[in-house]
Structure 1
Amino acid sequence: MTPASGGPGAVTSPFSPAPGAAPYLRQVRAQARMETRLMLRNGEQLLVALVIPILALVGGVVGAERGGIELDGRAVDVLTPGVLALAVMSTAFTSLAIATGFERRYGLIKRLGASPLPRSGLLLGKIGAVLTVQVVQAVVLVAVALALGWSPSGGWVALPLALLAAVLGTAAFASLGLLLAGTLRAEATLAIANLVYLLLLVGGAVLLPRSSYGGVGELLAVLPSAALGDAFRAALVDGSLAAGPLLVLVVWALLGATAATRLFRWE
């Protein structure tokens, strides 16, 4: 007979259950891996993430050159930083908000709510997935820009400064996207996310410098889209740190993350 559990001669199995939640960082990493796979499998999100920025870059460069539109420099040099900023906004805000909104509708977020994963872990996991997809975006867009003749002039500091802008921009837009998706119905999230994206694309000073908008340019400085575009242009064109725009992104990220953590509803 098998010795009684805990008695003399009892055998301790290496497969004894050890109930309990995994450490917080391990939960976040697992969530980020799952979110990354879901985003890469979704053709509609990849369309927003890659095709629209590529069309904006190619169409803008060709249109400026053939239409004789005067910019502060070569069209490809002026537009590329803005297109990279647009790609961050596309993935971190529009794609993330729409995907999360429909995950709530289908009950997936509700099931996550029953797990030990807290709201902050869900937020960080989704931001980690967005950053992974943005690496793919950056590689593709930089290759297209170089093929069009892009010549970055920011020097050796341009890359770390652009990475800093991308991380802060992702934090700001992802937290706002999750706030939108976590408080509204999926259909409303779809409509509002697309509407906000189009408004910021046209009038948010993300593609073109704020100086292109005349007297309203100063007012646009408080928008996260304008701050992200300014930070990318400062890094890739001038090789300088845009402290003001980066601070704007930090403020938006803190406000959005705080609101999303408190108001996000699992169903």
Structure 2
Amino acid sequence: MTTADAPRTTAAGRRGPAGSGLLDLRPAPGAAGRARMFAAQTRLELVLTLRRGESVLLTMIIPVGLLAFFTAVDVLPSGSQKSVDFLVPGVLALAVMSTAFTGQAIATGFERSYGVLKRLGATPLPRSILLAGKTAAVLAVEVVQLVLLVAVGFALGWDPAGGPGAVPAVLALVVLGTAAFSGLGLLMAGTLRAEATLAAANGVYLLLLLIGGVVFPLSELPGWLRTIAQGLPTAALSDGLRHVLADGSGPGARPLIVLAVWAVASLALAARTFRWE
């Protein structure tokens, strides 16, 4: 074969010998660009999340059900506040926790147990893109959750304070809360067996639901338990959102500091201890 007969590559595709007019169908493997890998992994994570019935129950149906039930029965000691005005910020915090912590911990734990993460590690997909895709999928689900809960809240008579000026504070709290809960979820999924992760994640979810200021004010807890609860990310997120959306004030320094400390500590520890198989 002369130089003129050698295969040529053009922008339209790989072609056969010069003058043959035929496409060269030999495989040409290679990794896609990082942007394409990120988009594909995010789409895959989101589709898998929405296909899991238990995940949809945890992230969508339970928060909406709690909001509707406790608004209807009106048994909460919320003082002069309407129940719905007290409940919506707490249930928004619960929605973030259910997606970023409980759902992610359980899903990642079983992916690790089944060897999915080990096999993905053998592909050109970088681990940073894998984690970024998981995080982006979590944020996408949270957007759907927040829109749904806000719509249900308005339908139940919610009257938020703060107006459009509250949006930046709410976004800051949600992002910090997502980082904190994601770190805790990955820490649990990367160190425990899948079955233990399932039990522990659901147990922690129930505990934080009860003492995290979601449906009951922290002031109703015993003094020692209230002190512990105030240092938890769920209480920090629900209190911060309540300050902004119910009281019309800023989130306050304590919720932001608590969430930031949990986010930095949990993500650093998860990165240090996470085992991929």
TM-score (norm 1): 0.88
Q: 1:78 touches 1:208 (CA, 8 Å); kept in 2?
A: no
Give unpaired runs (5+ residues) of structure 2.
15-27
Moved more, 125-134 or 242-251: 242-251
Shift of 1:233: 1.1
Equivalence for 1:49 = 59
2:21 is the alignment partner of 1:12: no
Equivalence for 1:35 = 45
Q: 1:206 touches 1:228 (CA, 8 Å); kept in 2?
A: no
- Count of matched residue positions in the alignment of Structure 1 and Structure 2: 260
Moved more, 244-253 or 34-43: 244-253
Q: 2:76 touches 2:83 (CA, 8 Å); kept in 1?
A: no
Give unpaired runs (5+ residues) of structure 1.
none
2:237 is the alignment partner of 1:241: no
CA–CA separation in structure 2 for the residues paired with 1:30 and 1:264: 23
Shift of 1:242: 2.7
CA–CA separation in structure 2 for the residues paired with 1:243 and 1:117: 39
Q: 1:62-98 deviations in whole A, cap 9, x for unaligned?
A: 222xx47443511000110000110110111111111
Equivalence for 2:33 = 22
Q: 1:40-71 deviations in whole A, cap 9, x for unaligned?
A: 1111100000111112111211222xx47443
Equivalence for 2:69 = 59
CA–CA separation in structure 1 for the residues paired with 2:251 and 2:212: 21
CA–CA separation in structure 1 for the residues paired with 2:159 and 2:235: 22
1:11–1:116 Cα change, 3 Å: closer
Shift of 1:205: 2.3
Shift of 1:113: 1.5
CA–CA separation in structure 1 for the residues paired with 2:228 and 2:117: 37
Within a 5 Å distance, the mapping from 1:1-267 to structure 2 comes to 2-3=1-2, 7=3, 10-14=6-10, 15=13, 17=28, 19-20=30-31, 22-23=33-34, 25-64=35-74, 67=75, 69-215=77-223, 216-237=225-246, 238-267=248-277
TM-score (norm 2): 0.85
Secondary structure of the 2:269 match is helix
What's the Cα RMSD here? Answer: 2.2
Residue type of the partner of 1:226?
A
1:206–1:123 Cα change, 3 Å: farther
CA–CA separation in structure 1 for the residues paired with 2:258 and 2:38: 26
Residue type of the partner of 1:212?
E
Q: 1:71 touches 1:78 (CA, 8 Å); kept in 2?
A: no
The percentage of counterpart residues that share the same residue type is 52
